[in-house]
Structure 1
Amino acid sequence: MSGNEIAGRGGILAAVVPGQPVAVLEEAARLADDLDVPLVCANVDPDRYVVSSYVDGTVVALPYDPDLPETEEKRFDPDLEAHIRRVLDGRGIPYSLQQLAGDPAWCLARLADDMNARYIVVGTREAGLRGSVREFFNGSIAVHLAHRQHRPVIVVPLNPIPGTQSFPWEDPPV
């Protein structure tokens, strides 16, 4: 089944990134299997914006940063693709891969509209000060999605903090 056939059937949209724990992909696959719908795995390059896109999933993108090379054809990251195939092949779930460029929340919401997704599955950010500061300034993709589009957003916890510990952005106890 081609990516276009899958996208036209609705289904589950999973946001995937290199180095992401397998839990997001596994939960999205489980949900797609439970609902008997296809899964679309989307990776977003936030440092570029789309100039044009092709049926095979390739996008031509320009950088926001003028010091980066001009146009670049972005194909799905081969290492990420191999990782996804290792997790999903043999499960009997139809899936496709989509490479996007731009603001992650906006790109995911638009793809969800295009494919008539039932749910969008994302992971939490990395724990620690660096991840918390980045999330503070950029905002959580899950929060942006929850407020800027109408589909349910499923957030898979990747590194939950035990109830006795404070959040990384909280002041330490005095």
Structure 2
Amino acid sequence: METGGNEGSAWTDGPLILGVPWEPPRRLIAAAAGLADGLGVHLICAFVDPSGYLAEFEPARSRTASSIDPDTNSEALFPAADVRSSLESVMGAPGEAWSLRVLNGSVPDALARLADSTGASAIVVGGPRRGARARFNRMLEQPVSARLMGIQRRPVVVIPEV
């Protein structure tokens, strides 16, 4: 397990954020749940849909959470339901110990915004995936863990894939 972040990062007693991929490994979920339990903090599991985006055309004080798209995309609910099912299979039903948030946009940016808005103590993510396709993707875009360590002042905990 690696930790990283910018200089001046400090561990707080805020919740722990877990960046949950589409098919979350049980090892990642269990490690984050164990860390949150050991620290005595709430675990916020965050699934980020990169196909959506955050549109912020108005000043923050007048911004609403309503969609600019008049049609409801019911298909967008299914990945979140699958992710929730994976989380519940390891940790049981959400409640005091953990909760799920579904976000949109760039994964590192969305996780950073959530961490800032909740006063999170740290962000937990999985390590870069293995294989030729994953290596090719990393040539085009940095792994989420690397991007987070570049934009976050709080600790980033990386759980390697086995």
TM-score range for the pair, normalised by the shorter chain length: 0.7 to 0.9
Determine which of 2, 21, 39 is the counterpart of 1:35.
39
Describe the shift of the 1:43–1:91 C-alpha distance in structure 2 as closer, same or farther (beyond 3 A): closer
The residue that corresponds to 2:22 in the other structure is 18
The residue that corresponds to 1:125 in the other structure is 128
* 2:61 aligned with 1:77: no
The whole-number CA distance in structure 2 between the counterparts of 1:142 and 1:149 is 10
- Kindly indicate which of the two structures has a greater share of residues assigned to helix: 2
1:68-99 Cα shifts (integer Å, max 9, x gaps)? xx763644611111111121127986211011
TM-score of the aligned structures, taking structure 2 as reference length: 0.76
The whole-number CA distance in structure 2 between the counterparts of 1:20 and 1:31 is 17
| Structure 1: runs of 5+ lacking an equivalent | 1-8, 55-59, 63-69, 160-174
Residue 136 of structure 1: CA displacement?
2.0
Q: Which has the larger radius of gyration?
A: 1
**Residue aligned with 1:49, SS:** coil
Percent of pairs with identical residues: 32
Q: Residue 45 of structure 2 contacts residue 99 of structure 2 at CA under 8 Å; is this kept in 1?
A: yes
Describe the shift of the 1:26–1:91 C-alpha distance in structure 2 as closer, same or farther (beyond 3 A): farther
**Residue aligned with 1:133, SS:** helix
Residue 132 of structure 1: CA displacement?
1.0
TM-score of the aligned structures, taking structure 1 as reference length: 0.71
Mean Cα displacement is larger for which, 108-117 or 13-22? 13-22
Describe the shift of the 1:90–1:102 C-alpha distance in structure 2 as closer, same or farther (beyond 3 A): closer
The whole-number CA distance in structure 1 between the counterparts of 2:72 and 2:94 is 37
Report runs of 4+ in structure 1 exceeding 6 Å deviation: none
Residue 24 of structure 1: CA displacement?
1.1
Describe the shift of the 1:90–1:19 C-alpha distance in structure 2 as closer, same or farther (beyond 3 A): closer
Determine which of 94, 99, 103 is the counterpart of 1:96.
99
Describe the shift of the 1:129–1:32 C-alpha distance in structure 2 as closer, same or farther (beyond 3 A): same
Q: Residue 61 of structure 1 contacts residue 71 of structure 1 at CA under 8 Å; is this kept in 2?
A: no
Residue 23 of structure 1: CA displacement?
1.2
Residue 50 of structure 1: CA displacement?
2.8
RMSD of the alignment, in Å?
A: 2.5
**Residue aligned with 1:13, SS:** strand
- Kindly indicate which of the two structures has a greater share of residues assigned to strand: 1
| Structure 2: runs of 5+ lacking an equivalent | 1-12, 56-63
